[in-house]
Amino acid sequence: MDNVKPVSEVEGTPVDQVFLGSCTNGRIEDLRAAAKILEGQVVKRGLRMIVAPASRRVYLQALKEGLIETFLKAGCTLCNPGCGPCVGAHQGILAPGEVCLSTSNRNFRGRMGCMDAEIYLASPTTAAATAITGRITDPRSVVKT
């Protein structure tokens, strides 16, 4: 059974980590959308934001476009492409009681390495907005006009 809600129903929930990437939402267009929101911003103090491009090709394109620099200046941690945080293998494993907003495609219990953590799935733009505020945030509230 799906557990899907509009961002307005979970908005304001504090998070410990934001994960942008994986094979699902680490495409170049996903990185571009998140970088647009993060440009000139910084990740909320005490929050971890991990970015993992979907492939080597995407990583190189993001580097060429300056997206990697945007993420690093905002305070994100960059991972190599491949399975990692979303499967609980390395970099980004959650601790008991932690909350993560992730752009990966699954959030079953234990998905990111801990049975006692919570994982919310969201779009890359919601991930970027949440990283700035430290709480689940509708990206429309932080978009630059």
Tokens for 143, please give them. 């978009």
Q: What is the pLDDT of residues 12-42, one digit of tens each?
A: 999 999 999 876 778 899 999 999 999 999 9
pLDDT at 108 over 90: no
Residue 2 has a pLDDT of 57
How far CA 66 is from CA of 60, 62, 88, 95, 145, in Å, comes to: 10, 6, 28, 32, 21
- pTM, two decimals, is 0.88
Residue 104 has a pLDDT of 79
Q: What is the pLDDT of residues 41-92, one digit of tens each?
A: 999 999 999 999 989 999 999 999 999 999 999 999 998 886 655 555 556 6
Q: Are 82 and 57 in contact (CB under 8 A)?
A: no
Does domain 10-139 sit in CATH 3.30.499.10?
Answer: yes
Domain boundaries defined on the chain: 10-139
